[in-house]
Amino acid sequence: MGERPDPRSDPRIPERRRGLRHAWDATGYSLAGLRRLSRETAARMECLGAALGAAALWGAGASAVDVLVAAILFLLLLAVEAINTALEVLTNRVSPGWSEDAKDAKDLGSLAVGLLILANAGWVAAVCTGLA
C-alpha cells in the first residue's frame, strides 16, 4: 500500500486555529451547515410548520414561557434534522448501493425527526387548547 499524503499539505484542509480564531472558524462552519440544511425540503417544511405554530400560539395568547418552550423545541428539531441530513449524506457516501444497514440508518434518523415533529405539534396543541 502507498503512503497516505500528509493532510497538512492538502490545500482543501484549513489550518487548525485556536482561541477566538477557532470560534470564528466554527461560526463559519455552522453557517455553512445552515446553508446546506436550507437546501433540504424537509427543513424548509419544518420552518413553515414553525411559522404556523407561532401564528397559532400568538392567536391563542400564549405566554412568553410557552413561546420560549416552542422555540427551544423548534431549534431541537432543526438540530436533529441537521444530524439526520449528515447521516444521510455519510450513508450515501459509504454505502452508495442499497443495503439493509443503510436503510435502517436512514429510517432511524427519520424516526428521530418525526418524534420531534410530534413533540413540537403536541406542545403547540397543548398550549392552544389550554392543556399546558
- Which residue numbers are catalytic? 81
Query: Higher pLDDT residue, 51 or 6?
Result: 51
Q: Is pLDDT at 4 greater than 80 in this prediction?
A: no
Amino acid 72: pLDDT = 98
- Chain-wide mean pLDDT for the chain? 93
Distance CA 26, CA 32 (A): 10
- Domains along the chain? 41-128 (1.10.287.3610)
Q: Is pLDDT at 1 greater than 60 in this prediction?
A: no
Q: What do you get for the CA distance between the two ends of the chain, in Å? A: 63
Angle at 47 between CA 41 and CA 50, to 5 degrees: 145
Could you read off the pLDDT of 5-43 as tens digits, one per residue?
665 677 787 788 898 999 999 999 999 999 999 999 999
Set of cell numbers at residue 38: 436550507
Could you read off the pLDDT of 73-126 as tens digits, one per residue?
999 999 999 999 999 999 999 998 999 999 999 999 999 999 999 999 999 999
Distance CA 125, CA 48 (A): 16
Amino acid 3: pLDDT = 65
Is 29 labelled a binding residue?
A: yes
Task: For the full predicted model, state whether its pTM sits above 0.75.
Answer: yes
Is 99 labelled a binding residue?
A: no
Is 106 labelled a binding residue?
A: yes
The percent of residues above 70 in pLDDT, for the chain, comes to: 94
